């Protein structure tokens, strides 16, 4: 890391902006975060880069220890999007990084092959589930429908799920894990997406489709056996998506489940966070849900997590800011620059993606795509 970037990063940690500009007790988690530490490179031994998902292991199983941080890569050595096949494992206790999984580029069970996305989780039973949104040329012109890949806790693939409701699993998963059963919420952003060369003449950008969905998957985990997909329900639809040369595609990315079973969804193209009520039990689609907050500090909201206090932390895609939102009040309460790379305009543009809360809830892990690094934000 260059000296100028180090100085800029340090300056960013102290430039904290309150949406309310009110002094006194912290109104949320971000106000308590003052240190940002580089932990490891996310580049795999085969040259894969562009880190997307960030997942913290809930248990020790196979080669993984509880508290390990798993990060997958979306690009290959040639920097083609939708071609990354690797997951790295960073162990905070030893500060060592190892390769957890390396999948084949071509996978018959996964339409189009492998390009690992932010849709990843590790279950309490040790199984890892990760989404694939594949391409052969780095654009949606050659994208496949993709799949969900099930890995054992030693990184070996044991199953792949595909079908008409699964089309480019894209955003970070919201998960309810009961041990022998689990429920996964995943956004599907690939339905009908053409090449980025198909331009809307009115806007000058690739055409926007309103076909992206949020899919709920119920699974069972038999004792000692891989998870089995039991049923699927589309609980949200009509979200915006479009092809993009720089970002592969733009679609609903952040999913976070509230304590009242409300599922919050980020839609970057519409610069909005919406809420789907009764996410665990509903039998129909809520469409795009109810608007929680839009515009303001949000700038193409991407990955999102739910904090112990019931707030949302949202990564911006068009700048290097993390935004804290009170979803009940519908208020944006705070923002902090966590990536201020001046090489992008605005600073940090396109650098943030995956985020995960630390097990103690006192900080978070996140990735910086520009530097291919795993970072930690804490007190």
Nearest residue to 163 (alpha-carbon basis) of 111, 118, 238: 111
Q: List the domain range (segments joined by +) for residue 40.
A: 3-378
pLDDT band at 24 (very low <50, low <70, confident <90, very high): low
pLDDT in tens, 217-255: 999 999 989 999 999 999 999 999 999 999 999 999 999
pLDDT in the model for residue 15: 43
Helices (H), the chain: 3-14
pLDDT in tens, 305-325: 999 999 999 999 999 999 999
3-state SS track over 124-189 = CCCCEEEEECCCCCCCHHHCCCCEEEEECCCCCEEEEECECCECCECCCCEEEECCCEEEEEEEEC
Q: Please calculate the CA angle 366-370-375 and round it to the nearest 5 degrees.
A: 25
Q: How many domains does the chain have?
A: 1
Q: Helix, strand or coil for residue 223?
A: coil
Residues shown for the chain:
379
pLDDT in the model for residue 319: 95
Sign of CA dihedral 323, 326, 327, 331: negative
Task: Kindly state the tokens that stand for 253.
Answer: 């990315």
CATH code assigned at 146: 2.120.10.30
Distance separating alpha carbons of residues 104 and 119, to the nearest angstrom = 18
Q: Please, are residues 256 and 304 in contact by the beta-carbon 8 Å criterion?
A: yes
pTM, to two decimals: 0.93
pLDDT in the model for residue 16: 40
Nearest residue to 213 (alpha-carbon basis) of 257, 250, 176, 252: 252
pLDDT in the model for residue 21: 41
pLDDT in tens, 172-205: 999 999 999 999 999 999 999 999 999 999 999 9
Distance separating alpha carbons of residues 153 and 172, to the nearest angstrom = 20
Query: What DSSP assignment string belongs to 237-252?
Result: EEEEEEEETTTEEE--
pLDDT in the model for residue 249: 96
Distance separating alpha carbons of residues 9 and 110, to the nearest angstrom = 40
Distance separating alpha carbons of residues 247 and 54, to the nearest angstrom = 18
Among 129-143, 233-247, 338-352, the least confident range: 338-352
Query: What average pLDDT score do residues 325-334 get?
Result: 97
Q: Helix, strand or coil for residue 14?
A: helix
pLDDT in the model for residue 8: 45
pLDDT band at 123 (very low <50, low <70, confident <90, very high): very high
pLDDT band at 27 (very low <50, low <70, confident <90, very high): confident
What percent of the chain shows pLDDT beyond 70?
Answer: 94
pLDDT in tens, 46-79: 999 999 999 999 999 999 999 999 999 999 999 9
pLDDT band at 26 (very low <50, low <70, confident <90, very high): confident
pLDDT in the model for residue 213: 98
Task: Kindly state the tokens that stand for 87.
Answer: 């997951």
């Amino acid at each position: 890391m260059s000296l100028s970037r180090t100085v800029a990063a340090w300056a960013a940690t102290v430039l904290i902006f309150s949406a309310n500009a009110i002094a006194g007790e912290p109104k949320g988690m971000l106000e308590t975060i003052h240190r940002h530490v580089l932990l490891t490179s996310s580049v795999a031994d085969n040259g894969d880069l562009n880190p997307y998902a960030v997942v913290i292991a809930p248990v020790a199983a196979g080669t993984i220890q509880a508290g390990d941080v798993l990060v997958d890569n979306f690009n290959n050595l040639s920097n083609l999007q939708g071609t990354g096949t690797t997951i790295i494992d960073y162990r905070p206790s030893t500060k060592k990084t190892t390769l957890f999984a390396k999948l084949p580029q071509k996978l018959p069970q996964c339409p189009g092959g492998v390009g690992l996305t932010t849709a990843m989780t590790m279950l309490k039973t040790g199984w890892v589930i990760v989404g694939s949104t594949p391409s052969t040329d780095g654009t949606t012109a050659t994208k496949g429908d993709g799949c969900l890949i099930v890995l054992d806790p030693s990184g070996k693939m044991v199953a792949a799920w595909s079908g008409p409701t699964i089309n480019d699993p894209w955003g970070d998963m919201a998960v309810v894990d009961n041990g022998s059963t689990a429920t996964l919420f995943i956004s599907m952003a690939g339905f009908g997406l053409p090449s980025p060369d198909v331009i809307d003449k009115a806007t000058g950008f690739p055409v926007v489709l309103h076909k992206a969905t949020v899919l709920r998957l119920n699974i069972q985990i038999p004792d000692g056996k891989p998870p089995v997909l039991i049923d699927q329900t589309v609980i949200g639809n009509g979200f915006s998506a479009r092809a993009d040369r720089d970002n592969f595609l733009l679609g609903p990315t952040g999913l976070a489940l509230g304590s009242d079973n409300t599922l919050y969804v980020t839609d970057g193209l519409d610069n909005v966070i919406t809420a789907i009520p009764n996410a665990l039990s509903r039998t129909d689609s809520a469409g795009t849900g109810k608007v929680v907050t839009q515009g303001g500090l949000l700038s193409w909201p991407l990955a999102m997590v739910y904090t112990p206090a019931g707030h949302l932390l949202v990564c911006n895609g068009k700048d290097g800011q993390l935004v804290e939102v009170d979803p009940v009040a519908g208020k944006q309460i705070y923002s902090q620059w966590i990536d201020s790379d001046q090489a992008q305009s605005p600073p940090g543009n396109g650098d943030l993606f995956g985020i995960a809360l630390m097990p103690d809830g006192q900080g978070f892990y996140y990735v910086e795509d520009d530097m291919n690094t795993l970072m930690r934000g804490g007190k």
